[in-house]
Chains A and B, each alone.
Chain A
């Protein structure tokens, strides 16, 4: 049994290639997630000394794209699963990934879906806050003249390195940091830097946030309360980091009264100001004449 320690997808890919070329079966490898990558082997066999059985192995690109996402899944079985799938694609069926009822394929696709959803939710729910004075935590990586935004997010999976691309493309000309417990990403408008994760949400105020809360409260239609539909898309676990979430309770509580008031006081007399306005009356008359002429 070989024990292979790796800590990221690139390492898995490298080691998996070496092992596949030597025809090492999935069953004889134990994959470990570790900071230090290493190949350990039992029975005194030097792994690299095994003969190379397959000089050139080509794996479909679609598999690599999928594997890269699966690799972000916070699930210890992912490396073994990916190796086993790679093995089967190479030596059993090149179209394996199309058989979406195969148990291993189903498992990998579920992991990819979970990671994809997590990335999508991160793109949606990260909230940047503008920092007044330049934060010195990251030294001179940032220019003191630029506006600097900071966000805190807690992803389910290890997605930061992949998810950060979206933010770079969208906020290229802004300086920002996204802080997460697993790692932090910093963008200074020209390059990205990763640092160790932090474990507590930073305490930052942003004066624009009150406008966001105003918008959130007013775009809500109290006559259409569908709280389950809301929660299926924005589960409670995200609420802790969303500035608008504390409003939900109040909006729900007041919705009933608001609708009752609308229904009871349903129809009112036309507004006197409109009737008195000769400008409005004349304009309406003109438009209505035009309409009747065109439609008759």
Chain B
């Protein structure tokens, strides 16, 4: 089989992993090196976009799509009749370098079906990363999918070469994992996530210590530890809509993963129909709006000070599902009208963050600007805010007519008309 055919099979097999992030690593570049590559602690770069609206940042492929596991939701499960292929380590290394040198990608996201044994498979993945780093001095981004059953030593090695590691939680409840992924073990998944976290924490601790030694001026001969274990941390993915878990369960699971393992990201992947799908799963279009609402809720958890209860509470009568018509922050505000309008010039940061239509960056700008002068209603447009969205919820010295809007029984309808352009994305 030629390389082009392999690439088409093994890229196709990899596309159900939502992550393509190349952000939040450490700063590296090639100036004192022999190879190519750089990464930054900030934003990654999206080198292209496919018509599904997703970015291409990394070369996302499987090493092989042969697999012993038989997870119902997966196109590569053992009982699927999909065409199989396997890359050699050198083929993946060469492809990564060829793509990288042409500026198509930020690096590699490598995953694999489980062949022979978990350790054998993990070792193959680690070898690709090792060759890129050691043989080619590659300084671009490497994301390795980690196999939870692999030995602790292999997990440690993976973090030495990769910028990011991920273990997929796959489904929101243990019950679902056992039902749909019979060869996977929820306990091992959590154990391995815990192991990655402690490696990440330890390496942070070590660097802190060596920094301290240096700044004390003592023991200057001690070599500063530059090593960072998986500098972009770990992430995970949950499939949405394959089992019958509701949004409340999904968000609670995500919240625990963030809390327990300091996940950088939990990705939500709407279950998408595949060829040769298992009969145990729904054959329908992926629930993209639901996925979008979950991401919005996830943002509220991480950057806006909301709790899972607050986000899901307005929906407790809807079987714990988020409202698909309006975003979760707006849904919360409509239920808590008594807290509005909020005075833009006086409210604390926490309250500004709760105003629908105002994002975290705009909140920063408001706080900076209001130190120097009182903000007028018209100033909000200059900050790039939509007056239609914020009108019912804000108050300034020259604007306070929002109460009438706030009292409207059809407040949700007022917003649904303004949300329509966004909804059409999913049309």
Contact = CB atoms under 8 A, between A and B. Distances in A.
Tell me whether A and B are bound partners.
yes
Interface of A: 93, 95, 98-101, 103, 106, 120, 123-130, 149, 151, 166, 169-174, 206, 208-212, 214-230, 233-234, 242, 244, 248, 251-252, 255, 259, 261-263, 265-268, 270-271, 273-275, 280, 283-284, 287-288, 290-291, 294-295
A100 B382 contact: yes
Most buried by A among B49, B104, B174, B278: B49
A211 B178 CA distance: 38
7 contacts: A174-B36, A220-B51, A224-B286, A226-B53, A229-B425, A274-B70, A283-B68
A186 B29 CA distance: 19
Interface in B372-393: 372-373, 375, 379, 382-383
B78 A230 contact: no
Interface stretch (B6-14, B151-159, B231-239, B408-416): B6-14
Given A101-B375, A288-B183, A224 B99 contact: no
B81 A271 contact: yes
B99 to A, nearest CB: 7
Contacts of B424: 228
A284 B8 contact: no
A34 B11 CA distance: 51
A288 B182 contact: yes
Contact of A262 (B45, B274, B278): B274
A284 to B, nearest CB: 6
A218 B8 contact: yes
B426 A226 contact: yes
Interface string B60-94: 10000000111000000011110000000000000
A268 B75 CA distance: 12
Contacts of A98: 368-369, 371-372
A48 B426 CA distance: 63
B47 interface: yes
Contact of B51 (A174, A230, A268): A230
Given A274-B78, A284-B78, A220 B52 contact: yes
Nearest to B78: A274
A283 B51 CA distance: 39
Interface of B: 3-4, 7-9, 11-12, 14-16, 29-31, 33-38, 43, 45-56, 59-60, 68-70, 78-81, 95, 98-99, 101-104, 174, 178, 182-188, 270, 272-279, 283-286, 288, 365, 368-369, 371-373, 375, 379, 382-383, 424-426
B51 A251 contact: yes
B52 A124 contact: no
Given A273-B81, A295-B174, 18 more contacts: A93-B372, A95-B372, A98-B372, A126-B103, A128-B103, A219-B14, A220-B52, A223-B285, A227-B53, A228-B53, A229-B425, A242-B48, A268-B276, A271-B78, A287-B69, A288-B183, A291-B178, A291-B185
B41 to A, nearest CB: 14
A259 B286 CA distance: 11
B365 A100 contact: yes
B183 A280 contact: no
A280 B78 contact: yes
A172 B30 contact: yes
Contact of A215 (B43, B59, B68): B59
A103 to B, nearest CB: 8
Given A100-B368, A100-B383, A217-B8, A224 B48 contact: no
A130 B97 CA distance: 13
Nearest to B56: A219
A219 B70 CA distance: 22
B178 A100 contact: no
A171 to B, nearest CB: 6
Contacts of A130: 101-102
A98 B367 CA distance: 9
Nearest to B38: A170
Contacts of A262: 273-275, 277, 283
Given A268-B81, A274-B79, A169 B53 contact: no
A228 B29 CA distance: 34
B130 to A, nearest CB: 20
A284 B187 contact: no
Given A263-B273, A284-B70, A125 B36 contact: no
B345 to A, nearest CB: 12
Nearest to B3: A211
B51 A212 contact: no
B79 A270 contact: yes
A230 B49 contact: yes
Contacts of A294: 185, 187-188
Contact of A106 (B34, B54, B382): B382
Choose among B8, B38, B103, B284 the residue with the greatest number of A CB atoms under 10 Å from its CB.
Answer: B103
A270 B278 CA distance: 8
Contacts of B104: 127, 212
